[in-house]
Copies of this chain bind each other. A is one copy, B any other.
Amino acid sequence: MTPTEIREIETLAAFANELADTAALQTMALFRSGLEAHDKGKKPNFDPVTAADRGAERAIRDHIAARYPDHTVCGEEFDDRIGTSPYKWLLDPIDGTKAFIVGIPVWATLIGLLRDGVPLLGVMDQPFVRERFTGTPFGTVADGPLGRRTLRTRTVPALSSAILASADPYNFTSAEDAERFHALRAKVRLTRFGGDAYFYCLLAAGQIDIVIDPGLDDYDVAALVPIIENAGGMITTWTGESPLKGGNIVATANATLHQTVLDVLVG
């Protein structure tokens, strides 16, 4: 990488952190405020969308449009804006809207940046906890109550020692997917639910070994790829393909564990 390329990535990473600050003003103003949730009705379960989601994504989009008007921007709440630049932002203003509505501080703002279709950097921000994860080609760092730390995934000796996490066991709407998940769950030491994007960041932090979710969208995944890969982890679909289009997603701490997990998921 040339010094110019390094500076460009550093500038974009700093800007992505600014975007997270901008979103946090919107989300924190409405978190635990008694706002009404409306059902979008797009998904089989309750799928709330709130003024906080829309306000945060609007604020991020305005910020990008002002600074980088030629960048492409895609997000959960509004139509895609197609730009001429090789850069594309993928936004999930509130990943874990159910957690947001319930008031438990494990939802997150996800900001991913692709260059020519390849994930370049990602930010996961939890403004109530004041914890933020940033993944770039220079590494994955966490900033939060424990200070600033560079993250690495850990190595477990066997699947039976592994910790597995998933957002919600009832998100597996296909019986076959549920069966595969439970086959994996039966082989690990401990399974934890209720974390959304936070779990993927904790995998990067060496706390969790496997995170698995069905039916994710591209904007759920884009920010997490740099966070996981630059900490030593792997993230793919359940069949080992690129996670960038979303779908059934699995992240693990390293390539060896990943293959072991894929073998269980293939069944």
Contacts and interface: CB of A to CB of B under 8 A. Distances in A.
A103 B194 contact: no
A192 B194 contact: yes
Number of copies of this protein chain within its complex: 2
B32 A207 contact: yes
Interface residues of A, number: 40
A25 interface: no
Contacts of A207: 32, 101-103
A163 interface: yes
A7 interface: no
A205 interface: yes
Contacts of A193: 168-169, 193-194
A52 interface: no
Interface of A: 28, 31-32, 34, 46, 48, 98-99, 101-106, 128-131, 145-146, 154, 163, 165, 168-170, 189-195, 198-199, 202, 205-208
9 contacts: A28-B145, A48-B190, A102-B202, A103-B205, A103-B207, A104-B106, A130-B145, A170-B191, A194-B194
